[in-house]
Structure 1
Amino acid sequence: MTFKINFPNYHLQSDWHDASINEKIWLHSINIKNDDRNDDLKKNYDLKIINESNIIIDNDKKNDDNDFIIEDYSKKCLAINDVKSNVTHRFIAPVRVFQSIHQKSIISLDVAPTGIAVSSSTDGTMKIWDTCTNVLKYELKGHYLDVNRCRFFPSNEVIVSVGLDMLIKIWSAIDGSCPVTMKGHTGSINDLAIVDRGRNIITVGRDGLAKLWSCAKQTCIENLFDTGNIPINACAIKSFSNSYDLGQRKDSANDDCVGTLNKMLLLATESGSIHGIGVDSKQSLFKIDCHSPVNCVSFLNEFDLIAGTHDGNIYQYDIRNFNQPKINWLISRSPVLSMISVRRPFNGFVVSHQDGSVDFHYDNHNQILHLTGSDCDPIYQIVYDDKFIYTACRDGKVRKYYLNNAFE
């Protein structure tokens, strides 16, 4: 039995936290219909700040239907309760906005626990910079086209990047040099996964291939899976104990495979399917059909995965029983672009949509946390560094959030 979550989705004016006393800010809600029609119920509200700790529904637009009540307001958080669904919506503003790193849309982003970031943009640049000082350290030159994904290795001293030019490049985060370039895909490389400490990596692309690489020997070890030219949009990897059967390899393992045992790879495809693959066995473990292109996928906990689709659906599956989703969220018809699992302040996941909304969902289904700041510009990637959330936006800005601000 699938638990379906469908409640009004609220959007708050992006610069609400900068509003002065007696200034009005707007609040917009969309109530998704349960059928396939697109005539969703949309409402707009005016809110008025009356002092530094209080806000009301503006008298010119009375809330006659009693749609919501305002629970709390501060410069850090605005909380409202939707009366009909009894869901509390908490809105938080970014604690910092980085707007001078790139000139155009930021496609990919990663932030190390040290505060060092790497990001790529449609302005043709990929840069290493410091989130503490906002100082540019290096510009990484070598890709010919847009970089779709850049990511730190676990050491935080090495970066791997993949892009439209079908190249895989490994960079030094210490001096910005690029000692390794690998080729092998015949289409744009869309995503990558790092195996253990990074002696092996996995890449996926529009050619429908998931490839395992040796970073030391700079070669492709083998193809892990072939969808038959169906583009693979995203991937995720996780270690498993002996509690889950990851299949048996039919041929002898290559000596260059390091850390591939007990690993599962998730593949999100343009045809709407999610594949579970044993990395060492190269066996297909399961296939899930989502009926819409799957844009992103992630592991949520030991046996659960989450996936976001182009039609706005978010699914949570238990891989031990994948015939139907455990939970199905549909609070926006806007395509899901990125998602990550988080551990603090609660276990859950953060998801971004093409309409610029960024939401934190967790076990308490009576609350949802909205990360504001984007004025309807898509959020292409979300990053979590165990303390802060960072978002990469089409408006060329990186925003930094502290989730605990919603509960202080």
Structure 2
Amino acid sequence: MAAPAITPRLALQCDWSDVLFSTQEPQRKVWVCCKKGSQTSYGDLVVLGVSSDGAPYVSASDGFSADNITKRSIRITHHDSGTTATFLAAGDIFSNIHSNSVLSLDVTTGGLGVSACSQDKLIVWETSTGQVRRMLEGHVSSIYTCRFFPSGIVVLTGGADMQIKIWSAETGQCAATLTGHTGGITGTAIVDRGRNMVSSSRDGTARLWDVGMSACLDTIANCGCMINCCAVHVVDNAIDLGEPDKCPSDREVMTEGVLLLLACEDGTLQGYGLQSRKKLFEVTCTGAVNTCAFLSSTEVICGLQNGQLYRYDIRNISSPLQHWGESRGPILCVVPFHNGILLSTGDGSCLYRDVTKAESTLEFSGSDGDAIHQVAHAGRTVYTACRDGCIRKFSIPQNLL
């Protein structure tokens, strides 16, 4: 498969807001650059003065310009490449929750967050303040994935100890432990309201679980390589998911019409009928597939270790709708959002992209090159989990999307 066209990417000094709006620095200057492949153009943003309301007057050098400057956002344009992006600064930085690399997080619209770090700490906290509510103790090694059930008060986790655990976010008690995998748990996906869930593992298998009985109902797939991520979604009725060879158990609820998507280390993206247990497709990408997600009932997207993205219509999976990349690190997380996706990378990038366009339009600042392992959102508020131990909270103004 031909390599994708590499689109230009803008980058801005991570603490740009602190510097440009500082009242202490006599000389206020931040760097900006535009990367395309191996070529990088650099420039500076220099504060020339300050308006009566404290906003800086900024001059840009070397073909760059800056406008729409506020304490939380700035729009940068590189005129030679025709590239424009708006950068957001975090409204809050929660550095008190974890002291080590944050590996996973999730949030609810009800004001709770849950996150796990490389120190094996699993913590429930308040999204408004970052105040720690409780520790969830029971895993014995790194926790790779944590998420809320749709109720917003029950947490699902999995980790290197090969265990899947279900917790009460209200009491901190572990209600159930699911075992059976022979490798670390790399991902989980909740079916409908949560009577069933799917897990993916380093052991190469994806399993369907009965949550209430804490029992494995079946092994859906054995991919022969590590599975890095899984996702489920009810798909369009026109898509044939196959028929099961035997009548499903009465403990299997709402699996009809559901497609299971698997991101595999061998560079394949695989799809299975969850109820039929039939493999429906396997497409080969240009590198290890780290993450995958559904954009709709007919479209999926996956992100690769080599920084590339593939978007497919599952009604015609033979060739991608889009295959594109930028000068970024490995793609670690892809989350559907608004009319596109939120994605995070191994080089500290986090951005929003309209999937119908060839470039990113909104960049979330703050990481100084530290990997952002996970991104989550509640409405227009976005949270990032970073290797520097911080969880950053961004509020997207109405005029930016």
Q: Which TM class, normalised by the smaller chain length?
A: over 0.9
- Structure 2: which amino acid aligns with 1:396? G
SS in 2 for 1:330: strand
CA distance in 2, matches of 1:259, 1:353: 33
The size of the alignment, in residue pairs, is 390
Measure how far apart 1:405 and its partner are: 6.4
Hey, what does 1:352 align to over in structure 2? 344
Whole-angstrom CA distance in 2 between matches of 1:367 and 1:225 = 34
CA distance in 2, matches of 1:333, 1:389: 20
CA contact (8 A) 1:190 1:206 kept: yes
Alignment of 1:379-394 (within 5 A): 379-394=372-387
Alignment of 1:191-210 (within 5 A): 191-210=187-206
How far off its partner does 1:364 sit? 4.7
- TM-superposed deviation, 1:53: 4.3
* TM-score when normalising by structure 1: 0.91
| Matches for 1:13-162 after TM superposition, within 5 Å | 13-19=13-19, 20=22, 22-32=27-37, 40-50=38-48, 51=50, 52-57=55-60, 62-63=61-62, 66=63, 68-162=64-158
The secondary structure found in structure 1 opposite 2:98 is coil
- One-letter code aligned to 1:374: S
Aligned-pair distance for 1:4? 5.3
Q: Which amino acid aligns with 1:317?
A: Y
Superposed CA deviations along residues 267-290 of structure 1, whole A, max 9, x for unmatched, are: 000000000111001111111111
Residues 357-399 of structure 1: CA deviation (Å, up to 9, x unaligned) = 1111114546611110001000000112222111000000001
Matched-pair contact (CA < 8 Å) for 1:92–1:406: no
Q: CA deviation at 1:214?
A: 0.5
Q: 1:87 to 1:204 in 2, by over 3 A?
A: same
Please give the residue correspondences for 1:201-240 in structure 2 after superposition, counting only pairs within 5 Å. Answer: 201-228=197-224, 230-240=225-235
Partner of 1:402: 395
Sort the Cα spacing of 1:76 and 1:374 in 2 relative to 1 into closer, same or farther, 3 A.
Answer: same
Q: 1:2 to 1:389 in 2, by over 3 A?
A: farther
Q: Helix, strand or coil for the counterpart of 1:18?
A: helix
Matches within 5 A, 1:214-293: 214-228=210-224, 230-293=225-288
User: Matched residues in 1 for 2:115 and 2:328: separation?
Assistant: 28
Q: Is 1:79–1:90's contact at 8 Å kept on the other side of the alignment? A: yes
Q: TM-score, normalised by structure 2?
A: 0.93
- Using a 3 Å threshold, how does the CA distance of structure 1 residues 70 and 132 change in structure 2: closer, same or farther? closer
CA contact (8 A) 2:104 2:374 kept: yes
Amino acid at match of 1:371: F
The answer on whether the counterparts of 2:167 and 2:176 sit within 8 Å (CA) in structure 1 is: yes
> 2:397 aligns to what SS in structure 1?
helix
User: In structure 1, the residue corresponding to 2:35 is in which secondary structure?
Assistant: strand
Q: SS of the residue aligned with 2:336?
A: strand
Choose the corresponding residue for 2:337, options 336, 342, 366: 342
Unaligned runs of 5+ in 2: none
Aligned counterpart, 1:296: 291
Query: What is the rounded CA distance, in whole Å, between the counterparts of 2:103 and 2:360 in structure 1?
Result: 30
Runs (4+) off by over 4 Å: 1-5, 364-367
- Unpaired stretches in structure 1, ≥5 consecutive residues: 33-39
For 2:254 and 2:272, locate their aligned partners in 1 and report how far apart those are by CA, in whole Å. 15
Q: Secondary structure at the match of 1:14?
A: coil
Amino acid at match of 2:134: Y
- Alpha-carbon distance in 2 for matches of 1:270, 1:6: 23
Alpha-carbon distance in 2 for matches of 1:26, 1:219: 54
Aligned identity (percent) is 36
CA distance in structure 2 between the aligned counterparts of 1:270 and 1:366, rounded to whole angstroms: 26
The 2-side partners of 1:367 and 1:333 are apart by 12
Distance 2:164 2:220 in 1: 17
Per-residue deviation, 1:113: 0.8
In structure 2, the residue matched to 1:35 is none
Does residue 374 of structure 1 match 2:367? Answer: yes
User: What is the root-mean-square deviation of aligned Cα atoms in Å?
Assistant: 1.9
Counterparts of 2:95 and 2:123, CA distance in 1 = 13
Structure 2 residue aligned with 1:313, among 294, 308, 330?
308
